[in-house]
Amino acid sequence: MMMTHGHAQSQPPVYPSLPPAHRVPLLLLPSTASSSARKARACPHPAAMPSKLSVWYNKLVDFNVESLFAKPRGSGPPRTVFVNEPIPAEYYDHKHRVKKEHIFSSNQVITSKYTAITFLPRNLLEQFRRIANVFFLAIAILQFFSIFSTVSPGLVILPLLIVLTITALKDGYEDFKRHQSDRSINYSQVRVLKGGDFANENPMAGKAKTFARAMVPAFRRSTKSKRTQGDVENLQHGAPPEGIHTGGADLVQLPTRTEEVGVELDDGQPVEEAGGLFHHHGASRNPHWKMTIWEDLRVGDIVKIMDDEPLPADILICASSEEENVAYVETKNLDGETNLKSRNACASLTHLNTARACAKKENAFRVDCDRPDNNLYKLNAAVIAPDGSKTAVDSNMVLLRGTVLRNTAWVIGVVLYTGEDTKIVLNSGATPSKRSRVERQMNPQVFINLLLLAAMATACAIADAVLEQHYFPLGAPWLFGDTQGDDNPKINGLITFVYALITFQNIVPISLYISIEGVRTCQALFIYFDKEIVYEKTGQATLARSWNLSDDLGQIEYIFSDKTGTLTQNAMVFRQCTIDGRVYKGDEVEVDSDITDVGAIPEADEHADDSKVNVRGTSLPPPSVKQSSASSSTDVPNPLTAPAVKKAEHVLAHFTDSALIEDIAAAREAVSGSREDNHGRMLNGFWSVLALCHTALVSVDPDTGAIQYKAQSPDEAALVQAAADVGFVFRGRDREVLTLQTPFARGDKYERYELLHILDFTSARKRMSVVLRKLGGEDGEGDGKVYLLSKGADNVIIERLHPGQEAAVRTTEDHLAEFASEGLRTLTLAYKVVPEDEYEAWAKRYHEATVSLDEREEKVEAVSEEIEYGLSLLGATAIEDRLQDGVPETIADLKEAGIKIWVLTGDKLETAIAIGHSTNLIGREDNIVIIRGGGEGATPVYMQMLNAVEQFFPESGILEEDGVKLDDSMVLPQQQSRGYPLQRVNTGGSSLVGHNNGDRPGGFVLVIDGAALTYALGDEKHKNLLLKLAMQCEGVICCRVSPLQKALVVKLVKEGVGAMTLAIGDGANDVSMIQAADVGVGISGEEGLQAVNSSDYAIAQFRFLKRLLLVHGHWSYARNGNMIVNFFYKNIICIGVLWWFQIYCAWSSQYVFDYTYLLFWNTFWTIAPVIGIGLFDRIVDSHVLMAMPELYKHSMNHEYFGTKLFLIYMFDGVVQSALIFFLILYSYNSTSARHDGYDVAQYEFSSSIAVAAVMAANLFNGLNTHVWTGWIFFAVSLGIVLVWVYTAVYSALAPSLLTTFVYGNDYYLFHSAYFWFTILLVSVLSLLPRYIAKAYKLAFSPNDLDRARWLHKLDPTHDFTQDRHGGLADVSVGGGRKRHAPRARPQLFHASRTDMATGMRSVNRGFDFATEEGGVAMQRMQSHLSERHVQAAPAKRRRNASALMQAFSIRRTLRRKKHGGSQSSQPEPSLLASASAPSSPGHDARGHHHRTSDAS
């Protein structure tokens, strides 16, 4: 077990009674080693060592393993996609192989890190980024040389192999789950054109042979993948759960019936000409749609997507089931926006609406495309027909992967980009190899230990060389024969250096890493089995997908959150409304039923035929109705006869209000001109605007026969449905005729309106208007009147009202403020009656603007302004964007914990601000600073940020820093003389300016949009100013951001501040930021599982994030940090004892005690207490951490681990090792403890040292534990018991059984008073300094954690919520305390906001409305309406005596005349005012007086 230095000799005892100068050993004992080359390189140039070392270390730390294995894929050249055409000859090289640049990526998307080939090298590289692993490998290699060997070389390297193997297995399992998730996506199914003359010759790259595919048997890969609870780690790029399509045909052998094999026809033709027989391949000769897995999809394939199905690739639309070949798509997985987007087919491909048409050779074409690009909103391509004609293609004709088809029965399209070339994948980074902050901090600490080891080895080498060269000429007997080439005084110093490295190698414990891995694995299991963070609705537990980041959860400083699906449910509830100064808050009890009965009016309708109607605007089939027909319209149940209304998608509840119902009933019976009658007219007008001013479509559920509204955004659907719930039922649109059912309908007939114009909603206009003509009834009432119905932001609508409504405006503004304070999204409603002559003149100007070739958008907006004035105020609505459960409370608690929260969303600015209010991110007294990007002539983004700093943070010192000041080159010439004083802006209608804007006691919240971020992230100067401005704010909201911008913002904070970051989201658009953050969390709730595949932790609800961070993160960081420093301590105490012995063994690197004590030090004697700390220690109980979020600051401030704490524990170990060694050494150095009078041998007193060191180390670890449970008692006592038993048994083993140097030691030890006395003495003295320090701190300088533990000890039932907001500061440990009433959380209210782009200050009243701006469907609708207006002459608009219509006003038959009096002097209104409502030119001037330009 021991080897001699140069030659073997027997080991004599070293007598402690001898003077130190004469204690010269006869041999030098080797044990272990370290890398000496590092020290040797630094020695020649000691002065340059720090800088070189720093550079070397930084390079090593920053080394990116992914760069070696992630193939750097360029953007590639522009491509040409050949559809049913052969590829040209120039695509081939001289060997008739397709050239590499013309080969397209396969549609297989892999998010895992490893393959079967790269797993071993990549994983080893990742593990050897740990300096300790490199050191252990070097030591193991040294011991393969016989001169340095202590035990078997295989046994030496075994611990390292175990560590590497266990870590590799853990990493492999994690990645195997990613491969399974990838398979769920890649094996989804889609309908692909097959058969006929169709052939796709576009060359595709081969699919990767991945780790998981190699391990999944072939017969299992061919069966249907069933979605189970275990699929929580699913879906990344494929978007929603609908991505796992197994409802189609299974990928198994084909049966004999066509409807069972995934073959679908859409032209009514049989699959086979005779008998339905198959070819030998089981496929039809006729064109058909074949179910194919996503990863087999090819560029140039023609696919058919059905309603509610996700897109498998980036696809050019050829045709759709809808009118004008429009398709609606949900893009929330790309950009986070919840409203639907409209896309249209390429004009030259609309004839490709059946499989047979697509497969014809004469319909072949090619598509010239731009190179793959990550810009979601840019695509340039052209369709080239065989005759050479070209048709331009833009992004409005393409459906992107990750989106979902909605409200469209089917779409046929051609695949342009697949796999890695799709925009969603280009916006996602490679799966990173994340390392925890603790692990990164351990590297410099290990490096410090290595330097210490090198210093110790160097000291031993120098001392040994000096002593040998001194004693060798004197003929020292222990140096006899040292004349060999490898054994002489000149070379033995170097050999001693290596021996010392081996002897003291435990200063860097290899068991530390395997212990950390085991502890983190158990911590992941603790998270999984925590019932508090299990979503009861689905049974979904919180899952740790990366097991090595648990301690990072306790150090999070910034949280970056998505909005849709993360903070919100993407579901709306119509909560309240104000009409004519009266607020209707709805009944408190929500109606559970999905259907509200509204009744149908039985009337003869020329359009109705057998209760079926062919209504294009209302023919959207529900998701369950899968249409295969290519016809442009479809027969569906008649919405005119539907007796009920079903809840729209993303609308949670029907709106009911008993007071409103009573008011409507009272108005129906009211006397004409009475108060009830006037209020009834306001009610009629308000709900009629909601029922008519929208672009929603109507479908009829075939199962229930109820109307269901299909809208582009959830809030628009909520508004229309709320009107229907009240009785104002929108029955659909037949071409341009809108049908409305109202409670005030005359003669129980439907009202019908001709839709003349739609003035679309945009972010600049902040309003939407429709121009309608009321189609007259039999008595001619209201015949032909033109109405303008508007809804929009309160400030925009109010400034366009006609004079005389000041009282109503003030009341409405008060109600709006109340709505906004509750976090509701508001819209203000108004209307006007437009005189016929004014309308005709305006319509002509509007048409001219719409066909203008120059500045069309500006002209259309200007003409729209002309008619939107002189409005009459109706009221306002308040909609709740339903949050995930517990979101406001969670965000408030996380903010109280000191964590800054940034919301990164693709929604527009108003929506982002509204969510900020409702989630507590923006408080009632906060100040909002808005930075917006603009086009040419807008305020530069840098100037906006500089103005914000100068106005709000002049004392921050940012303006005094170098390079911050504005350069002349950054200011546009037309803006150099332009100032932007932040002052009141006179809007005329009402004051929109806060009285103390910018000076409110709350903090600041920065809101910046994606256009501004493009500039702000463009160069270092912009980024530096943006970061400094953001650091001054309590929160930041980034809106209209792309997935790539989300990742860039995360990296900006992560790298610019060096803070620990966490990103949380649920969609594929969140993948980039999840990967960029230190910790990524995916929401795996009821629907969205998209981000989980790339996340480190999967939770079901946002509220679980609080417990994950405040409890598990805090515990894990405190446990791991405490465990690591105690691990270093217990090893330094052992190495310290060995080091002090070198003074008495001529620095020969000998062991002071038997080698087995050192061998078992980290495996049996001292491993249990540190593992117990890592698993069972609790800094404070979980309910205390949840009740007092501010305690998290101790964890966030890195108090539990760091170099300072490491050095303190190292110093403790050195001091204790000195106490143990010298006290026991000099105790035994006195009178002999033996009864026979002989002096003690070395292993007699050194065994006492070994036992005492084990006891001191274990008890010291226990002293550093915060809670003593049964497991802690067991862990602390285990090593002590084992070392005592081992000492007794090992010393009693007879030489016939095992040759040892300690035989009989038990007889001398256990009979010796020195043994018992010294162990007791040194154990107490070793622990005493730490015990005194802890006692002093607890008594005289306790922190909040100490006080919390003390209170919990005194009263286990104590309610710690009473001690929030600094309440623990009044607790005296050991004494009394003062009671304070808990501070109430500030309520939400309307915050002040400053738009730095315009200098405009205003008070936020909750306005928000989501809809597609400038969409294809809206453009086509406006174009048709404008063309119809030109074609129809005004003179032909006559009253239709047979039409069953009536005026907007309440019908006369429902009004009673006043008794005994004349008619009211008030004019008879239509809608709610008479046709003579203000419409004179004079009102035009007043109307313009109340408008204020908001342009930059």
- Point out the residues that are catalytic: 562
Q: Beta strands of 963-1087 (E only): which ranges? A: 1004-1009, 1035-1039, 1061-1065, 1079-1083
Q: How many helices (H) and strands (E) does the chain have?
A: 42, 40
CA 677 to chain centre: 53
Interior angle at CA 425, CA 423 and CA 431, nearest 5: 155
- In 3D space, the residue among 746, 132, 315 whose CA is nearest the CA of residue 304 turns out to be 315
β-strands 636-637, 612-613 pairing: antiparallel
Separation CA 567–CA 1037 (nearest Å): 13
For residues 440, 44, 1139, 498, the Cα torsion angle rounded to the nearest 10 degrees is 90
β-strands 1004-1009, 1035-1039 pairing: parallel
Reduced DSSP (H G I as helix, E B as strand, rest coil) percent helix, strand, coil of the chain, to 5: 45, 15, 40
Q: What is the 3-state secondary structure (H, E, C) of 554-577?
A: HHCCEEEECCECCCEEEEEEEEEE
Separation CA 1276–CA 484 (nearest Å): 50
- Look at phi and psi of residue 689 and say left if phi exceeds 0, alpha if psi is from -120 to 50, else beta: alpha
CA 1380 to chain centre: 38
DSSP letters, 748-775, are G--EEEEEEEEE---TTT-EEEEEEEEP
Q: Which residues of 1152-1191 are buried (b: 16+ CB within 10 A; e: fewer)?
A: bbbbebbbbbbebbbbbbbbbbbbbbbbbbbebbbbbbbb
Pair 660, 341: CB distance under 8 Å: no
Query: Which three-class secondary structure state does DSSP give residue 921?
Result: coil
Separation CA 433–CA 450 (nearest Å): 26
Indicate the angle between helix axes 1270-1292 and 1167-1176, nearest 10 degrees: 170
Which secondary-structure segment (H or E) carries 813? helix 806-821
Which residue type sits at 331?
T
CA distances from 244 to 186, 625, 629, 1070, 1135 (A): 9, 19, 25, 20, 58
Q: Which residues of 182-214 are buried (b: 16+ CB within 10 A; e: fewer)?
A: bbbbbbbbbbbbbbbebebebbbeeeeebbbbe
DSSP designation for 85: S
Interior angle at CA 712, CA 707 and CA 718, nearest 5: 55
Separation CA 506–CA 1099 (nearest Å): 40
Look up tokens 């038997």; give the residue: 1154
Look up tokens 């435990």; give the residue: 506
Length of the chain: 1496
Look up tokens 């840098």; give the residue: 942
Separation CA 547–CA 174 (nearest Å): 9
DSSP designation for 364: -
- State both tokens at 1144: 């008495």
- In 3D space, the residue among 477, 504, 328 whose CA is nearest the CA of residue 409 turns out to be 328
